[in-house]
Amino acid sequence: MNINNLREKSEALTPETGQSWKDLSKKQRLNLLSELTSEIYSNQFKFIEARDDGHVYLSLINDIPINDRSAYLLDLELYLKKNLDQGITIWVIPAADKSSLRKLRGIEVKL
């Protein structure tokens, strides 16, 4: 891939959400997301927030191996874009630091 192709992709406009998505309340958006993903992606994550601009925030319930996580999340986002709205973008809320060694040394990681 040459530099011109990368530049074109980086300057592409981000799709915006449609009016039907914007007209839904936050609770309706969350319910719709949960219903759509319950069978395929059961018990892997929980939707926390769904904004009218398409930003959908979720937290992971079960640990997904780090080498599989990016592909899993990209597949989920593509699925939501195809089935709900092209303007949806998913964001994962960071989990708390689980390192007992850092806790013993008094190092705190602020999120």
pLDDT at 96: 67
CATH, domain 15-105, list 3.30.9, 3.40.630, 3.30.70, 3.40.5? 3.30.70
Strands of the sheet containing 89-92, edge to edge, are: 45-50, 55-60, 89-92
Return d(Cα 98, Cα 35) in angstroms, integer: 31
What are 24's two structure tokens? Answer: 């839904």
Locate the domains of the chain by residue range.
15-105
pLDDT at 106: 61
Distances (CA, A) of 44 to 27, 74, 96: 20, 14, 17
pLDDT at 56: 96
Per-residue model confidence as pLDDT tens for the chain (111 residues): 566 777 777 777 888 999 999 999 999 999 999 999 988 887 789 999 999 999 999 998 888 888 999 999 999 999 999 999 999 999 998 876 666 665 566 666 565
pTM given for the model: 0.76
What are 49's two structure tokens? Answer: 């927030």
